[in-house]
Amino acid sequence: MRRDQCRERWQVERLGMYGAVALGGALGSVARAWLGGVIGGALGTGFPWGTLAINVLGSFVIGWFAVATDDGARLEATTNWRVFVMVGVCGGFTTFSAFSLQTLELARAGALGRAGAYVVGSVVLCLVGVWAGVALGRGG
């Protein structure tokens, strides 16, 4: 294959990958807005329960999918499917920037204990989510 043909093929493959990320990001963002509204409506807005739940769920999904679709794993997925889910959907769905802003808002409002609980709870629960996803992805 000529150098120009290789470059064109690489560009087409990259375009498909970026399209997968964009579509996944759009779907993840819409899912985040919807689920955050549902959880906020059910539990109230005094504590960012929706963001916490979304980050834990997203951590679980990325952990499970990473292991379940790894080389030799039980599910086969192309690179585009992996970036669609892991970079696009999970990236659009999880909300570290929102987490940071909400933590600052809690602290500025004088709710330092709640802000600290939110930080610790988010880190611990998201790590548990990733661990559980990896364990499930490995089959136990």
Global model pTM greater than 0.85: no
Classify 72 as helix, strand or coil.
Answer: coil
- Place 111 in a pLDDT band, splitting at 50, 70 and 90: very high
Mean pLDDT, the chain, integer: 91
* 62-94: pLDDT as tens digits: 999 988 998 887 888 999 999 999 999 999 999
In this structure, the number of other CB atoms found within 10 A of the CB of residue 52 comes to: 19
Work out the average pLDDT over 93-106: 89
Question: Is residue 10 pLDDT above 70, yes or no?
Answer: no
Please give the single-letter amino acid code of residue 118. Answer: Y
CB contact set of 67 (below 8 Å; sequence gap of 6+)? 73, 133, 134, 137, 138
pLDDT score of 95: 82
Q: What letter represents residue 115's amino acid?
A: A
Question: Does residue 12 register a pLDDT over 70?
Answer: no
| Cβ–Cβ under 8 Å, residues 95 and 51 | yes
pLDDT at 36 over 90: yes
The pLDDT of residue 2 is above 80: no
Is the CB of residue 87 less than 8 Å from the CB of residue 24? yes
> How confident is the model over 41-56, as pLDDT tens digits?
999 989 999 999 999 9
Please tell me the predicted confidence (pLDDT) of residue 8: 67
Q: How many domains does the chain have?
A: 1
What is the domain extent for residue 127?
Answer: 3-137
Quick one: pLDDT at residue 72?
82
Whose tokens are 């504590």? That residue is 47
Cα–Cα distance, 120 to 118 (Å, whole number): 6
In this predicted structure, what is the pLDDT of residue 1? 61
